[in-house]
Chains A and B, each alone.
Chain A
C-alpha cells in the first residue's frame, strides 16, 4: 500500500465516525434520544456486518409505521414524533394511534406490534424498536433520505407482501454494504494487527507495560502522517485489543467448530453473528457502564458524565488492566496533554506554543489519579447507601440483601431473632418470607430491635441519601417507589464497577516502581513522555 493509499484508508473512518457520533448526540428535549448501549449496538452491527436481519425487521416496522400514520405512508411520524427511542414511548405511540385510527393491518399487545401482511404476519417487539429506530436514523444520516425513501416506497405506499418486504430489505442491505465498503477502515486495522503482532514476535504473553512503551517510542516517530501509532492511548488500546482478540479467538474457534458440525461450511468464512457474540464477551467489562445509562437505571444519576469518562480506560481494558496497570495509568494521565498537542498542531500552533504545552505537562500526577479512583469508590459507596435508604423507605425487601452486601461484617444476630416464630397472644405464628421482609422494613432503623450495627448502617444510608442532590436522590425517598427497580439493578452494577476499581488500585499498590515511589515513577515517565512528544511534534527551535 502506497502512502497516498494509506492516507485515504486512514481518512475512511472519519465520515462513518461522524455519522455514529451524530447518532449518539441526537437529542429530544435535551435528553439523548438513543442510549449509549443502542449506539454501541449499531456500531457492532456495522463492524460485524450483522445488519441483514435487523434491516428485515426495520422494513416491517417501516411498513407498520406507514399504516399507523394519519395520512398513510408517513412512517417518519412514528420515528421522529414519538419522543425518546424507548420501548415505552413506541408502545404509547402505537396504542394512541391505533385507538385514533383502527386498522385491520395492525394489532398490538404489551410486547409487540403485529403487522398483518397480505400473505403472513410479522410481530415486532417493542423492545427491539429503539435499536431499529437508531438503525434508520443512522442510514438516513449516512446514506441520505432521498435515496432511502425511494427504496422504501415499496413498503410504505400500500400494505406490502412478504416478498416485497424482503426485496426492500435486500436493497437496503446492498446500499449499506456499498456505503461501508467506502468507509470501513478494515485494511488499516489489518495492518495494525500485523504490525503489533510482529513486534511481540507472535506471542501475546510477552506484552508488558515496558514493551508497550517501547513500541510507542519506536512507532510514534514514523514520519508517515497516516501512522496508527501516534498516540500512546491508541497504542495501548491496540495491544489490549490484540490480547483480547487472541484470547477471544479460542472462543470464536469453539463456536465455529460447534456450528460446523454436520454442516458444509466454508472453512475461511467467519459467521458475523458469532463474531458479534464473541465481541460482546470480550467487552463485557464495559457493560455495567453502558447499562447504567439504560432504562430503568437512567432515571437515576448514579454516575455523572465526568465520572463515567474517568472509568472508560479502566473498564475498556477489563481484566487486562491488572496485567498492564502502568499503561492504563499512563493513558489516563498523558492522553490529555497529547490530545492538546494534536489539536494545537491542527490549529497550526508555533513550535514555541507546542513546546509550552509539552513543558506544562499533564494536569494530574499518578497519585492524583489514584486519589480520583478512590473518590470514585467513595461516590459509588454514597450512591449504594443512598439506594439502600430509598429501598427501605419504599419497603422493598431487596434492601436487606443490599444491607448484607454493604456491611457484611456487622452483627446481624439481632435481625435473626425476628426470624424465629413469634408468639402473638396465645398463638405461635410461623412467619412467611414476605411477612418477614415487611417486618424487617418496619424495624430496620430501630436500634432496640435490630441492634446498634444495623441501625448505624441505616442512619448512614439516610445521611447519604439526604446529602445527594443528583437526579433520583434529591426527591423525598418514600415517593420513589416507581424507581425501586432502578435502585436495585443500579446497585448491582455499581458493586461490579467498584470491585473493578478496587482490584486495580490493589494491583497498583504492589507494583515495582522506578525510584521506589509514585512521585519518582511520575517524574521518570513525565520526562520520557516530554522527550517523546518533542520528537513527535517537532523539537523546539
Chain B
C-alpha cells in the first residue's frame, strides 16, 4: 500500500510522466524552427531553407528579430537606407566598402542586373539580405563573387528587387 501523498513516489511519477510527454511530440503539430536552421539560413549559401522556415519568418516577428540580430552581428557590411533618388527608387547603394548597382538588362526588358562591387576590401560576400520597411528579410545567394565583384540577374517581379529599389530598405552582406 502506498500513501497517495508519498512525496518521493509522486515526484518520481511526475518526472517520468513529464519526460514521456515532452519526449513524444505530436506529429500533427507544427514543427518548431530550430536555431541551427536559422543559423544556416543566415550563414550558409548552400543551405536550402525548408518551406516552414520561410513561412515562420513571414509570420513570426520574434524569429525575424532573431535573424536580424544574427545578421547584424555577423555582417560583412551594412548598406543602410539611402536618400530617395529623383524617381523615388534606389538604383545605387554604398556602405562599408561595397557598392550595389541596379542596371536594366538591354537584352531582356523584364530583367535587371544587380552589380555588387568591393571597393577597398578583400572579403567575398556569399549572401545578401534586404530588410524592407515592414521588417521582412529577403535573401539572395551570391554564387560567384570573383575579383571583387559579382553580377546577378533579377526579374522585375522578384520581391528582392522591389525591396532593393525601396528607399526605406537596408542591405546586409554576409
Give chain A residues whose Cβ lies under 8 Å from the Cβ of B16.
241, 244-245, 279, 282-283
Give the CA-CA distance A16 to B24 in the complex, in Å. Answer: 10
B:62-96 near A, CB below 8 Å = 62, 65-66, 69-70, 73-74
Smallest CB separation, A271 vs chain B (Å): 10
Interchain CB contact under 8 A, B25 and A18: yes
Asked if B36 CB lies within 8 Å of chain A CBs, one says: yes
B:2-56 near A, CB below 8 Å = 2-4, 6-40, 43
Interchain CB contact under 8 A, B35 and A13: no
A:339-373 near B, CB below 8 Å = 343, 346
Give chain A residues whose Cβ lies under 8 Å from the Cβ of B32.
15, 18-19, 21-22, 141-142
Asked if B107 CB lies within 8 Å of chain A CBs, one says: no
Give chain B residues whose Cβ lies under 8 Å from the Cβ of A496.
none
Smallest CB separation, A344 vs chain B (Å): 11
Interchain CB contact (< 8 A) of B36 among A137, A144, A146, A248: A137
Give the CA-CA distance A271 to B6 in the complex, in Å. Answer: 15
Give chain B residues whose Cβ lies under 8 Å from the Cβ of A248.
8-9, 12
Interchain CB contact under 8 A, B10 and A190: yes
Interchain CB contact under 8 A, A144 and B62: yes
Interchain CB contact (< 8 A) of B8 among A23, A43, A137, A270: A270
Asked if A131 CB lies within 8 Å of chain B CBs, one says: no
Give chain A residues whose Cβ lies under 8 Å from the Cβ of B146.
none
Give chain A residues whose Cβ lies under 8 Å from the Cβ of B38.
145
**With known contacts A14-B29, A21-B25, A44-B19, A245–B13 Cβ distance under 8 A:** yes
Smallest CB separation, A434 vs chain B (Å): 45
Closest to A237 in B: B20
Smallest CB separation, B37 vs chain A (Å): 8
Interchain CB contact under 8 A, A76 and B74: yes
Interchain CB contact under 8 A, A270 and B11: yes
Asked if A261 CB lies within 8 Å of chain B CBs, one says: no
Interchain CB contact under 8 A, B35 and A141: yes
Interchain CB contact under 8 A, A17 and B66: no
Give chain B residues whose Cβ lies under 8 Å from the Cβ of A146.
62, 65-66, 69
Interchain CB contact under 8 A, A145 and B23: no
Closest to B74 in A: A74
Give chain A residues whose Cβ lies under 8 Å from the Cβ of B74.
74, 76
A:155-208 near B, CB below 8 Å = 184-186, 188-190, 192-194, 197-198, 202-204
Interchain CB contact under 8 A, A204 and B2: yes
Interchain CB contact under 8 A, B17 and A241: yes
Closest to A187 in B: B14
Give the CA-CA distance A142 to B73 in the complex, in Å. Answer: 21
Give the CA-CA distance A282 to B14 in the complex, in Å. Answer: 13
Please classify the interface of chain B as helix (H, G, I), strand (E, B), loop, or mixed, using the class held by over half of its residues.
helix
Give chain A residues whose Cβ lies under 8 Å from the Cβ of B13.
189, 192-193, 241-242, 245
A:101-148 near B, CB below 8 Å = 137, 140-142, 144-146
Give the CA-CA distance A326 to B70 in the complex, in Å. Answer: 53
Which of A249-257, A295-303, A421-429, A468-476 is the interface stretch?
Answer: A249-257
Interchain CB contact under 8 A, A244 and B12: yes
Closest to A201 in B: B1
Closest to B69 in A: A146
Give chain B residues whose Cβ lies under 8 Å from the Cβ of A268.
7
Interchain CB contact under 8 A, A282 and B62: no
Closest to B40 in A: A80
In this complex, which of B8, B10, B25, B31 has the most chain A Cβ atoms within 10 angstroms of its Cβ?
Answer: B8
Interchain CB contact under 8 A, A253 and B8: yes
Interchain CB contact under 8 A, B33 and A141: yes
Give the CA-CA distance A40 to B9 in the complex, in Å. Answer: 21
Closest to A71 in B: B74
Smallest CB separation, B96 vs chain A (Å): 14
Closest to A347 in B: B28
Interchain CB contact under 8 A, A270 and B7: yes
A:224-259 near B, CB below 8 Å = 237-238, 241-242, 244-246, 248-250, 252-253, 256
Interchain CB contact under 8 A, A275 and B12: yes
Interface string of A265-281 (1 = CB under 8 A from B): 00010100001001100
Interface string of A61-79 (1 = CB under 8 A from B): 0000000000000101000
In this complex, which of B7, B17, B31 has the most chain A Cβ atoms within 10 angstroms of its Cβ?
Answer: B17
Interchain CB contact under 8 A, A252 and B2: no
Give the CA-CA distance A211 to B24 in the complex, in Å. Answer: 25
Asked if A94 CB lies within 8 Å of chain B CBs, one says: no
**With known contacts A18-B31, A26-B34, A141-B32, A275–B15 Cβ distance under 8 A:** yes
Give the CA-CA distance A417 to B65 in the complex, in Å. Answer: 75
Interchain CB contact (< 8 A) of A47 among B4, B18, B40, B70: B18
Give chain B residues whose Cβ lies under 8 Å from the Cβ of A238.
17
**With known contacts A202-B3, A252-B8, A43–B34 Cβ distance under 8 A:** no
Interchain CB contact under 8 A, A252 and B11: yes
Asked if A59 CB lies within 8 Å of chain B CBs, one says: no
Give the CA-CA distance A43 to B14 in the complex, in Å. Answer: 13
Give the CA-CA distance A141 to B29 in the complex, in Å. Answer: 16
Interchain CB contact under 8 A, A241 and B20: yes
Give the CA-CA distance A13 to B25 in the complex, in Å. Answer: 9
Give the CA-CA distance A44 to B26 in the complex, in Å. Answer: 19
Interchain CB contact (< 8 A) of B19 among A80, A137, A202, A279: A279
**With known contacts A140-B35, A252-B8, A18–B29 Cβ distance under 8 A:** yes
Give the CA-CA distance A300 to B54 in the complex, in Å. Answer: 36
Interchain CB contact (< 8 A) of B70 among A25, A145, A245, A278: A145
Closest to B20 in A: A237
Interchain CB contact under 8 A, B14 and A189: yes
Interface residues of A (CB under 8 A from B): 13-23, 25-26, 33, 40, 43-44, 46-48, 74, 76, 80, 137, 140-142, 144-146, 149, 184-186, 188-190, 192-194, 197-198, 202-204, 237-238, 241-242, 244-246, 248-250, 252-253, 256, 268, 270, 275, 278-279, 282-283, 343, 346
Q: Can you list 26 residue pairs at the A/B interface with Cβ under 8 Å?
A: A17-B26, A20-B23, A21-B31, A22-B31, A22-B33, A33-B36, A43-B19, A48-B15, A74-B73, A74-B74, A144-B62, A144-B65, A146-B69, A185-B21, A189-B21, A192-B13, A192-B17, A193-B17, A197-B2, A241-B13, A242-B13, A253-B8, A268-B7, A270-B8, A275-B15, A343-B27
Given A185-B18, A249-B8, 18 extra CB contacts under 8 A: A13-B18, A17-B21, A20-B25, A22-B32, A43-B22, A76-B39, A80-B39, A80-B43, A141-B34, A144-B65, A189-B18, A189-B21, A192-B13, A193-B13, A238-B17, A248-B8, A268-B7, A278-B12
3 nearest CB pairs, A to B:
A249-B8, A140-B35, A245-B13
